[in-house]
């Protein structure tokens, strides 16, 4: 018998789902609300939820004090290029692991993933020294490489999983039909894996955009992305919650909007292959 859902049960489920959703979203909502308050209202006790004087003053001050456009541009360049570079390296890697695996393929995949288990701070010192030696400190190129490398295991794993879903016989059929390796990748594999590739790129872009440890430690002025822009409002004059919130809102807005519009794609990509 199919499990029946009574209207009351359905209402309860919906309410609980919304409650959990709001709970998770609350910090972001609070940040956005705080950005429209005065500094006094921002730290008022008890906290004021909606009944405050809405003001754009914080945004004006933040825009005046720092060059938002430059931070934004750096974020776009760093997240974008590291994603593209990662994809160029990961697609052939995942292809070979999925379709011409060797005895060690599984080991390599696990080893790649194991690098994600290392706390980043553990390798900060050697990487910092390398960056000094190579003159990459506070450069976008350096950050592009580092972010690409730290996200590469995830890209390879995700693409590998999507490629694994594609039956090998289809690629063999293409080979029988006279497709060269290049044609096989272009006409058969890639179109079939597009949802997977797209969601991988999207997720990687979001991860790179939000990455704070390396972007804060390896940049100062020139290459600083939006994470550094936010951080600059938590110091050195002490905490100014309203301005910090305004800066945060400005930093997360682009990625939030991107995520909102592509959520369908993202969810489909992340659950790809879960149900046949």
Partner 1 sequence: MGQIQLKQVTKSFGDVQVIPPLDLTIEDGEFTVFVGPSGCGKSTLLRLIAGLEDITTGHIEIDGTDATDLVPAKRGLAMVFQSYALYPHMSVRKNIAFPLRMAKMDKAEIDRRVNAAAEVLNLADYIDRRPGQLSGGQRQRVAIGRAIVREPSAFLFDEPLSNLDAALRVGMRMEISELHKKLATTMVYVTHDQVEAMTMADKIVVLQAGVIEQVGSPLELYRTPRNTFVAGFIGSPKMNLITGEEAAKHDAATIGIRPEHIDVVESGGTWTGTVGVAEHLGSDTFFHIHNTGLAETITVRAIGDVNLTHGDTIQLTPRMDELHRFDADGLRIG
Q: Which residues bind partner 1 (CB under 8 A)?
A: 167, 169-170, 172-179, 183, 187-188, 191-192
Joined together, the tokens standing for residue 237 give: 């004059």
Decide if 37 contacts 242 (C-beta within 8 A). yes
223 contact partners, CB below 8 Å, separation of at least 6? 74, 78, 138, 139, 140, 142, 143
- Closest approach, Cβ 107 to partner 1, in A, equals 18
- Closest approach, Cβ 86 to partner 1, in A, equals 25
Of residues 1 and 176, the one with the C-beta less far from partner 1: 176
Of residues 3 and 103, the one with the C-beta less far from partner 1: 103
CA distances from 59 to 52, 142, 160, 236, 274 (A): 16, 31, 43, 19, 44
Of residues 133 and 182, the one with the C-beta less far from partner 1: 182
- Closest approach, Cβ 168 to partner 1, in A, equals 9
- Closest approach, Cβ 183 to partner 1, in A, equals 6
Element (H, E) at 189: none
Instruction: For residue 232, give the nearest of 23, 112, 66 by alpha carbon.
Output: 66
Of residues 109 and 188, the one with the C-beta less far from partner 1: 188
């Amino acid at each position: 018998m199919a499990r029946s859902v009574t209207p009351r049960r359905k209402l309860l489920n919906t309410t609980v789902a919304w409650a959990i959703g709001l709970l998770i979203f609350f910090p972001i909502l609070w940040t956005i609300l705080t950005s429209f308050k005065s500094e006094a209202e921002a730290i008022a006790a008890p906290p004021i939820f909606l009944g405050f004087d809405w003001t754009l003053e914080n945004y004006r001050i933040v825009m005046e004090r720092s060059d938002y456009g430059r931070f934004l541009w750096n974020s776009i360049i760093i997240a974008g290029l590291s994603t593209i570079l990662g994809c160029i390296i990961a697609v052939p890697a995942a292809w070979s692991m999925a379709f011409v695996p060797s005895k060690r393929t599984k080991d390599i995949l696990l080893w790649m993933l194991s690098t994600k288990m290392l706390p980043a701070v553990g390798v900060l010192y050697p990487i910092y020294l390398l960056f000094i030696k190579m003159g990459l400190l506070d450069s976008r190129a350096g950050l592009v490489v580092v972010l690409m490398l730290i996200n590469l295991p995830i890209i390879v794993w995700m693409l590998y999983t999507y490629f694994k879903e594609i039956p090998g016989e289809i690629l063999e059929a293409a080979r029988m039909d006279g497709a060269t390796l290049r044609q096989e990748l272009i006409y058969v594999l890639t179109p079939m894996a597009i949802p997977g590739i797209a969601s991988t790129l999207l997720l990687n872009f979001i991860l790179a955009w939000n990455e704070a440890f390396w972007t804060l430690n390896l940049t100062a002025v020139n290459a600083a992305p939006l994470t550094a822009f936010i951080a600059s409002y938590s110091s050195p004059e002490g905490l100014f919650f309203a301005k910090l919130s305004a800066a945060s809102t400005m930093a997360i807005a682009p990625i939030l909007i991107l995520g909102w519009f592509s959520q369908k794609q993202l969810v489909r990509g992340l659950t790809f292959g879960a149900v046949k």
